[in-house]
Chain A
Amino acid sequence: MAIDGLIILDPTGRAIIQSGFRSSSPAYPLLHIEALNSALAKASRPSDVDPVLYVSALELDTPSACCHIKHSDLRILCPVSGDVDPLYVFAFLQAFVDILREYFGQISAETLKDNFDVVYQLLEETLDASGHPSTTYSNALRDIVLPPSLLQKVLSVAGVTGLASQSSNSHPFASPIPWRKMGVRYNSNEVFFDVVEELRAVVNKGGVAAMSQVWGSVQANCRLSGTPDLLLSFANSQTMTDCSFHPCVRLQRWTRDKQLSFVPPDGQFTLMNYRYQPSGTHQVAVPFAIKASVTFDENKGVFDLTVSSRLTTRTIEKMTVDWFLGDGASSASCNASNTSSWTFDPRTKTLRWEMKNMTPSTSFTLRGHFISAAKVPRPAHAFRVKFDVLQHTFSALKVDQLKLTGELYKPYKGVRGRSMGDVEWRW
């Protein structure tokens, strides 16, 4: 099992970052970049490209595959050959993206070019020479590879480099707990938990949900001094199933009494993921409804959509309705009611309708038509709807208490909820 290397492509398909492919010919990475770029060019929608591309053995000794993900406008790809599980690769890519995000905030071709030396160092530390992920805990990495900071920039411009920040905390690898660094000090100790839930549902023509699941995660932002040992318990932990945890969580304790006992990493991390299991056969309701009528003419489709909120107290925010208009769709023209707006992207052939704020029991309409090169247009028979609801969770998960042991201070604690939705609404 080994990953051959890692390449980051900018939006035009040129490599910005490329790890050393020491054990293969120089053509090897190029072949993979080429394979991905040509697959992207061929696909009618960029998202249609298979994430695991087979790269034939024509010029290579062994057949290989190109595993790739898309992040913002970048493509990150890992060529693999031989006996490697693509899932292992995708897990690594995800971990690597998370690290980059932690180091640079938003990732774009620009930020990577700004900090490519840091990226190279990170790559060196996270992926060892034989292609195995090594250090991926960001706490440990921060000791080895310094995150870019304004101070450093000032120092470097002023001509004082590296030294000082190294000596200030020159104990990399000194922590006995691999995910937490040593000697953390804060003036005010605080820990925040965000309960983020996502509704994934498929709604059939009649408005009845064929499937609806709520996946949640507890994101923590921990700013606590020393080595705190936390015990987090929930008031309704029985509603959580299919849980998965950050390695810091003591699994036995959870199995025994459904409490999270852990020494947290410093900074932001995902503590746990779960699926909300409503009691009985009851399903989580989709908080909006869509009425759609679509008729077809030659080379043309006429539609009339109405979205209305089913919530009575809360506001649905940032709702977007995406509709793939089918191969050959060339343009659309619509009338969107009051505050909503629409755009049509001819590359992805997708019509997007955005509603910033949907106050309780209001509705929006979108009327218009689209032109298609196909004689009988074949748009997708479903809308993809995404939305946010702030200060709300589907599961009403409640943190019962948070105990801290091992340190003497009393931390400030905060919990808040947030939900999102990703719904396919068929018509």
Chain B
Amino acid sequence: MSGLNLNAIAENATRLGTRLQETISEHTRDLAIARGASSSYFDTPEDKVRNIRKQLDSNSDREKLDAMKRLIALISKGRNVSEFFAQVVKNVASHNLEIRKLVYIYLLRYAEHEPDLALLSINTFQKDLSDPNPLIRAMALRVLSGIRVPMIGSIVVLAIKKCASDISPYVRKAAAMAIHQAYKLDSGLQPELIEIISNLLRDRSPLSIGSVATAFEAVCPTRLDLLHKHYRRLCRTLVDVDEWGQADLMALLLRYARTMLPRPVVTGDREEVDLDVRLLLTSSEPLFQSYNPAVVLAVVRVFYYAAPPSEASKIIQPMLRLLHISPEVERTVLPYLLMVSQSLAHLLIPSYTYFLIRSDDIPHVKRLKMRLLRLLITSENYQALLREFAHYAEDADDTLVKDAIGAIGYSARLVPESAQQCLSILMSFIQSKHSVVVGNAVIVLKQLVQSSLQQGQAIGTSYSSTGIISRLAYSFEQITHPQARACILWLVGQYAADESVQNGIKIGPEGVAPWAPDLLRKSALTFTQEEPIVKLQAITLGAKLIVLSPADRTLILLNRYVLSLARYDMNFDVRDRARMLGALLVGAIPSLHEDDEEQEAPGGVVLRREQVRLVLFEGKLGAPAEKDVLHFDNQTVGSLGAITGKDMAADSVLPDWLEQGVDPALRVSEDDAPPPPIAVQSLQSAVPRSIASSNLASPVVLTPTGPSPSGSYVRTDAKNAWTNLDEFYEESTEEEEEEETESEEDDSEEESEDGEEREEHHEGPESSEAEDEDKESGEEEEDDDHSPHAIHHTS
């Protein structure tokens, strides 16, 4: 920098000297405040604003620059300054580059509002396109394409064409960037722009290629056929492209691969990867080491969506590396890891420490990490993870507390060895001072008890299910969380049946566990202050107990009390429930309605005690153990929708592989000096294949996106020629299967089926696998019959 300045000083010395002498007296005051010069522009007072017009018309560059800075400052403050447009346009040809740049910025903002005046400046830009300085050429093109005046569309295209063959790669890059603008201006220009793009694709300099890729995506995303000749060269130059270009280019190449190349095939231990797919993989793999997270994620996408399963695992370590870069990057990478974990969870297990939650993590990050940790519980690491979960239960974030306690329950079900420890932790939470902890612990305990009683096995060794229920019943008074209280009431009512007699003496009412009636008493005491959800359960508890032990006098009295309170409750649900249960019990326990006025005519159907018991107790299957349902079925890694969890309208879906790739010979280009042997080989092997295929007679159309897609690709295949149909189906079934595990990318048609499969996987992976096979091969068959159908996806 200092070197540069010295030069500048040298050249300026004489000029500065004379100039300083002239102006120094007037400007000493300015010098003193030189530091805050622009700041004063920013807070321009009104009278100065009026002065701007005069300044712009003046002859002094200094005045003009001053005025331009004021204008830009006003723009920045959100003020509309289009009134100065005419004056500003005059300065577009200023010799001062500084002024010109600011004029450009101004023009780009306001050209749309003043199309007529903007047209005045176009001549200057056209002249600038031949300026010796590449910076000016590039800038002129940028502004020209940025002036959104529809009638200059053809001029812009001409300018882009000129710049696209410029000697400076920077100007060619500017041309590529301008293409998108021109397209937005007038989509009718598309054919000409596509021509320019295909010219630019030939560019040898890696500099412009990234911008060409984005222009391609914007103008003609479906014309992937244009890339045939360039695909291999683009892959090879990938390393030399600038970082943003790398990210854009890889996205494009991945799309090309998925559309045009054959899917990697797994046969037994062997994986067959098409040489062109292989080329993409090998040339993008080094970029895992890029310092730009966007590039790393682009490589992750390439490997996740195009690599054979054995190599998909390479994405894990680079993704984990990204986590520490910044909290924002962490926030975005975690959802992608969650998506990836569906198929690669086993690879994440050793690295679970990356997901330990810190108390100052962003709440969203906490939630995502929690979901990941849940997925990674195994019989080896559960000790450490339970310790973590127990710690999170003390966090100040209520959602995290809920998730952590839920995860403890999940672990108890998933890893039977851990159940004992989980129960002790949950029981200790019941004594917590924080109602959130207690509440959630009770809810999780309820689920555990319920599922263990259903399966008829004890959860842990030292806690019997009924033991837990009684413990909960005794701590009812300390628990304030309404949902938890309701849970306890329900649990006690549901499992209160107890026929056992200890030492010949039955404590409490017959047929009921000794602690149950007391709970009803407690809830009756506080009935009026409870939440409706608790009241409902209190009435139900009463009904259940009395059905179990119809003769008990105290229970009848308690029930009568509770029912009469409920009958006049403010909440109609509570009133309804009381009326319903009262009516239900009429036949079974007549004494319940002793002093009721409606007692005389029960009417309708009266149920016997056994029937009532059936109504009240049966069919209470526990809620299915909540599965960690991940709604990522139709989302891609690296899309906005995956991050916000909402449908983002424009999220593009990566196309599914073609059954067979297009002819690799198409990708041979003159610059692959010795034509790679693969091409020759595949051409040879293509012959028997096409004889076997039904597409033999169909014309060879090189562009699958053309107007008539029927039979639009040649079934050339570098692998082995298929001999009989059965073998073919077998092979392709395996291919499909492998795809299942490797990526979750699916056609919209397959979506519903896919959802089913995923659920089945939870229960019995083995049984469903066979089904998958059937389904998939069936599908395969269908696809084969209507081969053009598959091609539609690409267009």
Contacts and interface: CB of A to CB of B under 8 A. Distances in A.
A134 B15 contact: no
A210 B141 CA distance: 57
13 contacts: A51-B332, A62-B650, A63-B649, A90-B332, A114-B39, A117-B68, A124-B101, A128-B211, A136-B244, A159-B23, A169-B7, A173-B138, A211-B353
Contact of B23 (A54, A133, A158, A166): A158
Query: Lowest 6 A-B CB distances belong to which pairs?
Result: A82-B650, A162-B98, A173-B170, A211-B353, A91-B294, A130-B180
Nearest to B435: A376
Given A90-B293, A164-B15, A52 B643 contact: yes
A372 B662 CA distance: 69
A158 B37 CA distance: 13
B359 to A, nearest CB: 4
Contacts of B20: 158
Which label, helix, strand, loop or mixed, suits the secondary structure of the B interface? helix
Contact of A379 (B135, B294, B396): B396
A121 B105 contact: yes
Interface string B17-41: 0011011100100110011111101
A23 interface: yes
Nearest to B33: A157
A62 B329 CA distance: 24
A207 to B, nearest CB: 14
B61 interface: yes
A378 to B, nearest CB: 5
B233 interface: no
Most chain B CB within 10 A, of A49, A124, A244, A296, is at A244
Interface stretch (A148-156, A285-293, A337-345, A406-414): A148-156
A132 B108 contact: no
Given A50-B362, A130-B180, A327-B396, A87 B291 contact: no
A85 B12 contact: no
Given A128-B177, A132-B244, A326 B433 contact: no
A170 B8 CA distance: 11
A242 B317 contact: yes
Nearest to A166: B97
Contacts of A32: none
B456 interface: no
B248 interface: yes
Contact of B638 (A87, A147, A327): A87
Interface stretch (A246-254, A300-308, A309-317): A246-254
A174 B170 CA distance: 9
B16 interface: yes
A365 interface: no
Contacts of A215: 324
Contact of B61 (A110, A161, A172, A242): A161
A16 B177 CA distance: 27
A86 interface: yes
A83 B391 CA distance: 39
Contact of A161 (B30, B65, B134, B295): B65
A299 interface: no
Interface in B646-694: 646-652
A259 B134 CA distance: 37
B239 to A, nearest CB: 7
Interface in A82-136: 82-88, 90-95, 110, 113-117, 120-121, 124, 128-130, 132-134, 136
Contacts of A116: 38, 41-42, 72-73, 76
A180 interface: no
A170 B136 CA distance: 11
Interface in B1-20: 1, 3-5, 7-9, 11-12, 15-16, 19-20
A40 interface: no
B395 interface: yes
B570 interface: no
Given A113-B38, A169-B4, A82 B648 contact: yes
A94 B168 CA distance: 29
Contacts, number: 331
Interface of B: 1, 3-5, 7-9, 11-12, 15-16, 19-20, 22-24, 27, 30-31, 34-39, 41-42, 60-62, 65, 68-69, 72-73, 76, 78, 95-99, 101-102, 104-105, 108-109, 112, 133-135, 138, 142, 145-146, 148, 168-171, 173, 177, 180-181, 184, 207, 210-211, 214, 217-218, 239, 242-244, 247-248, 251, 286-287, 289-297, 317-318, 320-322, 324, 326-329, 331-333, 353-354, 356, 358-360, 362-364, 384, 387-388, 391, 394-396, 433-434, 638-640, 643-644, 646-652
A405 to B, nearest CB: 21
A158 B16 CA distance: 8
A333 to B, nearest CB: 21
Given A87-B322, A272-B291, 13 more contacts: A1-B214, A83-B640, A83-B650, A85-B639, A85-B640, A110-B39, A155-B16, A159-B19, A160-B19, A172-B170, A174-B134, A186-B3, A322-B360
A15 interface: yes
A157 B30 contact: yes
A204 interface: yes
A134 B173 contact: yes
A47 B244 contact: no
Nearest to A50: B364
B34 A153 contact: yes
A155 B292 CA distance: 38
A166 B100 CA distance: 13
A336 interface: no
Contacts of B105: 120-121, 124
Contacts of B433: 296, 376
A202 interface: yes
A132 B177 contact: yes
B324 A200 contact: yes
B291 A273 contact: yes
A295 B112 CA distance: 66
A22 interface: yes
A244 B321 contact: yes
B362 A51 contact: yes
Given A52-B644, A144-B135, A62 B359 contact: no
A272 B321 CA distance: 13
A87 B332 contact: yes
B76 A18 contact: yes
Interface stretch (A351-359, A380-388, A391-399): A380-388
B294 A85 contact: yes
Contacts of A168: 4, 7-8, 11
Contacts of B296: 244
B396 A380 contact: yes
Given A23-B184, A130-B177, A381 B638 contact: no
Nearest to B181: A129
A161 B364 CA distance: 50
Contacts of A128: 142, 177, 211
Contacts of A178: 207, 242
A136 B168 CA distance: 18
A221 interface: no
Contacts of B39: 110, 113-114
A234 interface: no
B328 A84 contact: no
A326 B170 CA distance: 54
A380 B76 contact: no
Contacts of A160: 12, 15-16, 19
A58 interface: no
Contacts of A28: none
Most chain B CB within 10 A, of A52, A115, A213, is at A52
Contacts of B328: 51, 67, 69, 90, 93
A173 B19 contact: no
Given A67-B328, A115-B38, A159-B23, A251 B78 contact: no
A193 interface: no
A261 B7 CA distance: 32
B289 A245 contact: yes
A424 interface: yes
